[in-house]
Each structure stands twice: as C-alpha cells, then as structure tokens.
Homo-oligomer: A and B are copies of this chain.
C-alpha cells in the first residue's frame, strides 16, 4: 500500500484556506499514485481551536469542509483521504463534539474513528471539549486493513511508560481486534496510522520516535504518524512525521518545522537515508523562527518592532525575527536613557547593521525628566528606586506601542525565562508586546542560541555576548546585584518552574544553601501576577509559562 504523509500547516478557523491546502496536497499525492493521503489531527479547523469548539457555527463549518473534501475523492483515480476534524457527538450524555479521524473515499465519509484518549495536562484541555470514543474499529482501504488512532491514543503503551494516565490502550485493543479477524485479513501487513497535533518541546521529537518504534516492534506493525506543523499562538508543531517499520527502523521522515509531503510503500519499506535529528539548540532556533513567523502572519501582520538595548536578549530576538520575516520587516529601536552606556547604543547599532535592519534612536531622557517633574510633588523626599527604574522601562514600552499603533507592526518582547521566572522584568515596560519570543529560554540558553545565530558570521556583536548582563536602569547596575550568576540561578529555576521540586530538593540537588534557594523561589511565587499579563510565550520546553502552567495569584504559599 502506498501512503502519503501530508504534513500541513493549517490556520485555526480558516476552513476555506485549510480545505484548499488539503485538496492541493491530496492532488499532489494523487499524482504519485498513492492509495491514501493522511493529514494531521483536526487539520480541517487547525489545532488547538480551544473554545471555538463550543460554537455550533464553527462545528458546522468543519462539517461543510469535510463534505467538500469527501466530494473531491469521488472522481475515479483519486486517493482516499484520512483527515482530522471535529464532528458533533452522537451521545445524548456528555460533551457535544468529537475529535475524529475521518476516512474520505469514493466521494463520501466512509469511516470515522473517534479519539479515545483525551489529554488534559500541561497545555492540553481536550476533556473540556470532546466526548471520548466508547469503542474502536479497524477499517479497510482497498482491502488493506488499517488501525487508525488519533494522537494521544498511541501514547499509553504499557511497555513504554512507567505510569499509565489512562486505563485503556487503544492500540492494544485494535491489535487484538486484528487477531480476531478472518485469516485473510489477520494475515495482512499490520499498519497503524496515527494522526497527530503534537507540539514541540526540547527532546519531544526523540521521545515520539522512540515511543512509536517501541509500538511498531511490540505489535509487529508499520506505524505511520502524521503531525501538524506550524506555530499556533504559544505552540509550535514540529511536524517530523514519520514511518517506522515493524522492526523499529525509521523508513520515512518528513521535514521538521516545515510543510512536507512524504511517500512510502509498505511493499517496499526500505530503510531510507534519513537526516539525523538536528541538535537541541538548532531545533530550538527553528522552533522560535517558525513560531514567530506564524504568529505574526496568522495575526495578519508583516512587520515587527524590537527594542534594541544593546543586550543579548534583544539581539537574539532581532536575529530570530529577521530569519522569520526578512530584514525588511524588522525595525530596531534604540531607546537610551542617562543610564545606558555608550557601548550599548553602539552594540545595538552594530547588530542592526549586521542584520541589515532599519534602526531608529529615540532617547528617553526628556520624557523621563518630564515624568519625574510631574511626579515630583508626590515623590518628594523618597529615594530613587524601583518606581524610577520601572518608569524608564515603561517609557520604552509606550514608545514602541506608539510606533506599533502608528505603523501597524507587532512588538516582539525580549524577556527571557530566567527574568520572567523571578520577575526581573517590568509589567507594561519591557514586557510590552504581542509575543515573548524567548520567554521559554533560560538566560544560559540565550547565550547558546546567540552563538548558534553567529555560526556562519558575526550577527550578534561579540561585545553584546561578552559583557556582563545589566538592565541599565540605574548607574553601574548589573543583574548580579540582585541575582546569583545565571549559571547558578538557571538550574534552580529549571528545577522549580519546570519540575516542581521543593526548596529542600533543589538545595540538595544543586548543593546550594536552602535559604538562598528559598529566597529565589519566593521571587518566583511573588511575580505570578506579572506572568499572567505577559505576552504569549513560545513554548520550547516541557513546562513553559502560559496556558500549560496555571497558578493562582492571591495565595499564601510556603516555599
């Protein structure tokens, strides 16, 4: 059987555009004479549609789209299509819609497999929307039986995971059904198809491949997984669709972080020459580039603004933006105050030159002085402090938003995950923006990514990489005035924010005084209110700030 993996990048809610794309890929697959073209989970409406699933009109549009795609398969010689979509539930009890893989052939919907395992952890809310499948069934395409699963359905294998999240294993159930078929069916090559919308985080593509290989070996089956690609808000889907042979060998793989159309034949099944997975830093870079490009474009924008301080965070964000959108669509804005060093302005200017982006300088001294004069009577007798520091940051945010409103460009936020963790950032100041491009990247990883940005030539100036980090909001300020060095801080934050370790566990693990750990964790707890008003963070780790990490603010918590 010849199958095409159609790894597409749909836009949430764009039924017309997504349908057009599906038919275009199906036609290309048909030209290669495939029997079946497979598309990702919820490809018709895009993933994740979130509460749009609660709107009847949205579900009705998905049904119209599926009818149109099904009709296309009616012409002789065209391949069957397996495609993810939302359908109304059939049960009078429970949730009102189902997440399904619909098999379209001969001009109609010929089979529907409803998703059984609905993830409801981290960024996933599927039990909020979908009624789970009560049962499953095998289906056939041109006489070849297929076991069809939707994403999470393949993620509960007893042999692979130390702890099961669900009581059933849909793959095992389907394989048991396979065995009980008449001999002429049971004897056919086993094929498990999995349609997915499986977002990227560091290490995830490797886990996915290992897990699917274990499945292939355990069940003696081909496993073909088609994953969505593209950025949708915080989530970046890496694609990396693949086919694994019954012996666990990879025989086909689609691109990572790009649309692709890949073919394989179960009769053939030769281990192909496949690119090794790129390394973690390169993957992260690609994820951030794709996430930035798709967010900006799917929001209907072309241009972005980045405040360039001369520091490494804004330099990295600008470099990512240029790769995502082109230098002509990025405007760098330097906004020095009296506490900015001359070197910083020079570094910002050099970065802009290296990147080939337009650079504008808007000094904030005069506006800052005017604010201080307006507030003088009320601030009288108080020392220069946090209020004055934040004022500078908020002036910069206001200037960027002024340019954004005037010229229709999105502001990219430049804060990193270390800063966002401890609240070393100013709400309505440097936190201003639509997208926190590196909000899930710890400062130590910001350095690694910056070196990656410079892999071919110097893009980020060496001085920017080498100087000691500083917010430059008061004379001679350094990040290390208030925080430990990032090599010490980042592992502590990773353990607390990412793995929910306790202060005692972290002190033990890192060999650091528990009092110091506790004082840092208190900063994390105290800055939750800032994170809840932050720009969307592009997720590249298992646990990022945003929808996948839900903490209340008005609490009294012991760390």
Residues in A lying within 8 Å of B, measured CB to CB? 11-15, 17, 46, 48-52, 54-58, 61, 92-95, 120-121, 125, 127-128, 163-167, 231-233, 294-295, 298-299, 360, 362-364, 366-367, 370-371, 373-375, 378-379, 382, 385-387, 390-391, 394-395, 397-399, 401-403, 405-406, 427-428, 432, 434, 500, 502, 529, 532-536, 547, 549-558
Contacts and interface: CB of A to CB of B under 8 A. Distances in A.
A552 to B, nearest CB: 5
Contact of A402 (B49, B92, B364, B387): B387
A500 B52 CA distance: 9
Given A93-B163, A121-B128, A370-B366, A556 B13 contact: yes
B554 A232 contact: yes
B549 A13 contact: no
Given A128-B120, A533-B533, A390 B405 contact: yes
Contact of A50 (B128, B428, B535, B551): B551
Nearest to A118: B127
Number of copies: 2
A557 B53 CA distance: 12
Contacts of A402: 371, 375, 379, 387, 390-391, 394
A374 B378 contact: no
A543 to B, nearest CB: 10
A17 B557 CA distance: 11
Contact of A374 (B56, B366, B374): B366
A147 to B, nearest CB: 23
Contacts of A536: 532, 553
Closest 6 CB pairs between A and B? A298-B554, A14-B556, A387-B405, A13-B557, A387-B406, A370-B370
A434 B127 CA distance: 31
A552 B14 CA distance: 13
A162 to B, nearest CB: 10
Given A167-B93, A533-B534, A549-B51, A555 B120 contact: no
Contacts of A555: 11-14, 46, 52, 298
Contact of A552 (B50, B120, B395, B500): B50
B554 A295 contact: yes
A532 to B, nearest CB: 7
Contacts of A128: 120-121, 125
B394 A406 contact: no
